[in-house]
Structure 1
Amino acid sequence: MEPIVAKCGYRCDLCLFFEANFAGGPGPDRISEAFARYYDCQLAPEAIRPCKGCHEGAEAPDKDCRVYPCVREKGLQNCGQCPAFGCETLKTRMDVVEECLAKHPNVSEEDYRLFFGPYLSRAPLTEIHRSARD
């Protein structure tokens, strides 16, 4: 699958919630347990559903996302294309995942791949931003 970068830089193509990955993923119980452990985020297993991503023109999958409306308002595909790249709105979203990972330095390779890798958005967005300037 080609990389699919969300507006905030999350990698949809690697995300457990993305509809193309959901059925083959670890399942709602495991996702719920991991998000509680790593992110202190309570997701009821029965509320975990596949996501179409934010590129489909639908509403933002995360109703509290502040990045989504900003990027749409500016007519961009993602924050990497924005002249204000690294703004406080984006920084807050990127920092959450990085801070949670820092609290779990001994996370297994599998859990890193499943629960952190798709959401570490700084690197893909920085690359997009560099390419947009060239």
Structure 2
Amino acid sequence: MGKTISMCGNRCDLCLLYKGNVGRTSLKNINRGFSMYHGFTVKSNDIGCAGCKVQGKQCREDCPIRKCCASRKYDSCAYCPELFCDLLKSDIQAVQNALNGAYNISREDYDAFFKPYEVVKNLNNIKKDIGR
């Protein structure tokens, strides 16, 4: 499976909630990591997200970033002249705060619960690819 990057820069293909990763790990392990590092849990019906660029199940139905990109007809925030606006900064900060509080995190946990959400890195790579 190739990279699937959301409008905000999340790597859907690495996210445990993404439809392509269903069954990769147990709901118990997903909730262990999300609870420990991000302060929330998910229900089984939250798993199986199609990603925000296609029709189907969404993990964050009310995502303001998705709504903003869609209203401006951008494929992702990387196309926006206001990249790293307040909407995006709040998501980036939430992940950074979780990472700052995660001591002695295992490589496995980093890959599962942080790597999918390296938004700044992913959006900067897209910007570079599109020549912005």
Say whether the fold is shared (TM-score over 0.5): yes
Q: Any runs of at least 4 consecutive aligned residues in structure 1 with deviations exceeding 6 A, and if so which?
A: none
Unaligned segments of structure 2, at least 5 residues: none
2:118 is the alignment partner of 1:120: yes
Query: Structure 1's 82 and 40: CA in aligned 2 closer, same or farther, altered over 3 A?
Result: same
Which residues of 2 match residues 1-134 of structure 1 at below 5 A?
1-23=1-23, 25-44=24-43, 46-58=44-56, 60-134=58-132
Structure 1, unaligned runs of 5 or more: none
Aligned partners of 1:82 and 1:129 also within 8 Å: no
- Residue 60 of structure 1: CA displacement? 4.2
Instruction: Describe the superposition over 1:74-104 as per-residue Cα deviations: whole angstroms up to 9, x where unpaired.
Output: 1011111111101111111111111101111
Alignment check: 8 A CA contact 1:60 1:68 kept: no
Aligned-partner Cα distance in 1 for 2:13–2:47: 16
Name the CA distance, whole Å, in 1 between partners of 2:29 and 2:51: 21
Q: State the SS of the aligned residue for 2:89.
A: helix
Relative to the length of structure 1, the TM-score reads 0.89
Q: Percent identity?
A: 29
Amino acid at match of 1:21: N
The AA in structure 1 aligned to 2:32 is: E
Partners of 1:87 and 1:59 lie apart in 2 by 26
1:18 CA displacement = 1.0
TM-superposed deviation, 1:65:
1.8
Report the TM-score, using the length of structure 2 for normalisation. Answer: 0.90
Measure, in 2, the Cα distance between the counterparts of 1:67 and 1:73.
10
Could you tell me how far apart the structure 2 residues matched to 1:51 and 1:123 are?
Answer: 22
RMSD: 1.6
**Aligned partners of 2:16 and 2:58: how far apart in 1?**
16
- Change over 3 Å in CA distance of 1:20–1:42 after alignment to 2: closer
How many angstroms apart in 1 are the aligned matches of 2:82 and 2:131?
12
Count of residues in correspondence between the two structures: 132
